[in-house]
Structures are given as structure tokens and as C-alpha cells.
Amino acid sequence: MTDAQSDRQLKVLLYSDDRTVRRDVRLALGTRVAADLPPLDIFDVATEPAVITALDEGPYDLVILDGEAVPSGGMGIAYRMKDEYADCPPVLVLVARVADAWLATWSKAEAIATHPIDPVRLPAQVAELLRARLAEPAR
């Protein structure tokens, strides 16, 4: 981790209409997903308008969207984000079934994870996405 990275926190936007999903994601990720990455600052929201407001106020290093949320599913929000934000952060979509992975591809999400939340796999996926984001040229 560089000196510049050691002073910052990685901002993660988490969306689900289900507070237990938000809680489970927070518990799985903790405050740091890998020793070589800065700590996480997770901001969670429960509605699509709150996602858009948060993105407008951003920036975020990663967005985690619940594909099973209602009335606005995370895949539709991901698709919208990728079309409307020039410097859209990477997106991880939570899906109910692995068979739904093709929908996540349609949504332009960089990764998927399945419900129930896997407390080992999810942090590894998040760490991979964040490393890639940090490796991008300065925005």
C-alpha cells in the first residue's frame, strides 16, 4: 500500500431494500477486506433514489447492488449507472441463483455474488475489484 493509499478509506456504496442483506454484507466485509488495501467506509441505502443521490455526491470506489431488491432491482440500477456515469465505479451484483449470472452480464456489472452472503468469497471478490480500481490511472 502506498503512502497516499494509507491515508484514505475506500468508499463502498451498498444497496438493498432488505436490512438483513445490508447487515450480512457489512458483517462479511468488516472494516478491511485485505491487508494490502485501505479500510472500508461502507454507506448503505435502501432505495434507488438514494443510490442515485449517493452517486451524484460520490465518488465511490465500489458499488454493491442487491439484484433481488424491490421495487428496483440491482441489475437494472447497474445498467443505468453504466450508461449515465462517465467514471462509473465497478459494480458487484448480489443474485439469488448462479443461473442469474447472465442477467448480471447484461447489467454490465463487473462481478456477481450469490445469496446467502459467503463471508469468505465476498471479501475476496471485493478486494479484487478494489485492487483493479486502485490500479486505474488517476481520475
> Domains in the chain, ordered, with CATH?
3-130 (3.40.50.2300)
Q: What is the pLDDT along the chain (139 residues), one digit of tens a residue?
A: 454 445 789 999 999 999 999 999 999 999 999 999 999 999 999 999 999 999 999 899 999 999 999 999 999 999 999 999 998 999 999 998 877 777 778 899 999 999 999 999 999 999 999 999 999 886 5
Answer whether 112's CB lies under 8 Å from 94's CB. yes
Rounded to two decimals, the pTM is 0.92
| Alpha helices for the chain (secondary structure H) | 3-6, 19-29, 48-57, 74-84, 101-106, 121-135
Strand pairing category for 10-15 and 40-45: parallel
For cell 440491482, the residue is: 74
| CA 104/CA 10 separation, integer angstroms | 23
| CA 79/CA 127 separation, integer angstroms | 22
pLDDT at residue number 7:
74
Q: What are φ and ψ of residue 63, in 5° steps?
A: -125, 130
Output b/e per residue, 108-138; b: 16+ Cβ within 10 A. Answer: bbbbbbbeebeeeebbebbbbbbeebbeeee
